[in-house]
Amino acid sequence: MFDVYLIGVGGQGVLTVGELIATSALRLGLPVSFYPTKGMAQRGGFVKAQLRLGLANGGPAIAERGADLVLAMELSESLKGVRFIKPGGEFLLYGHVWAPTAVMLGQADYPAPEVVREQVEAAGGVWHYLSPDNRPLYEGEPVPANIYVLGAALSLTRLGKVLDAATVGEVVEGRWDWGLQRNREALAAGMAAREG
């Protein structure tokens, strides 16, 4: 069994990552429970998804301190995922910043990646960090962040031992009729990404 907790904001494709992981697991014959949750806003609202891979019987919810992998795609929202990481579990943060109004007006502070790292390590988690500054371009535009992060999760975390990259690649290629090469490049770039 492998539990994945996904977290971010609307518009990032967090739920799409969950769908791609779930579809890949099903292709490999693994039982899957997929439980997505959206916030009030279409873009910028809180989004999370819980995936339980390989669990034939059981509820969709991941217990606190129960996730093998927390995959966070927004810096401040990532703090909501810390309580779900199990001791020895992995926490992959893509450090995208979606500053809320209070931060933009100077009425609230925004956490630094080091703050998240300290909390993850205090919870017994293994820290991985991807800087948005390192996301490569394809034909002059950044590759899709969600596919890039999925590729990185396959290469940097134990997710790559649960799902093979070839199957995930096939699922990504079959998901959209457009942007095929852009998504291939994003997945490959994520697979080759280095932390930092």
| Residue ranges per structural domain of the chain | 2-191
Q: Tell me what the mean pLDDT of segment 166-180 comes to.
A: 93
Looking at residue 196, what is its pLDDT? 78
Looking at residue 44, what is its pLDDT? 64
Q: Which residues of 20-41 are buried (b: 16+ CB within 10 A; e: fewer)?
A: bbbbbbeeeebebbbebeeeee
| Second CATH level (architecture) for the domain 2-191 | 3-Layer(aba) Sandwich (3.40)
Question: Tens digit of pLDDT for each residue in 35-66?
Answer: 988 765 555 678 999 999 987 666 778 999 99
* 29 band by pLDDT with thresholds 50, 70 and 90: very high
Residue position matching structure tokens 């995959």: 71
In the chain, the DSSP E strands lie at 2-9, 32-38, 46-53, 67-72, 85-94, 126-130, 137-138, 141-142
Name the token pair of 50.
Answer: 């819980």
Q: Are 3 and 59 in contact (CB under 8 A)?
A: no
Question: What is the pTM assigned to this prediction?
Answer: 0.92
Looking at residue 119, what is its pLDDT? 97
Q: Tell me what the mean pLDDT of segment 159-174 comes to.
A: 96
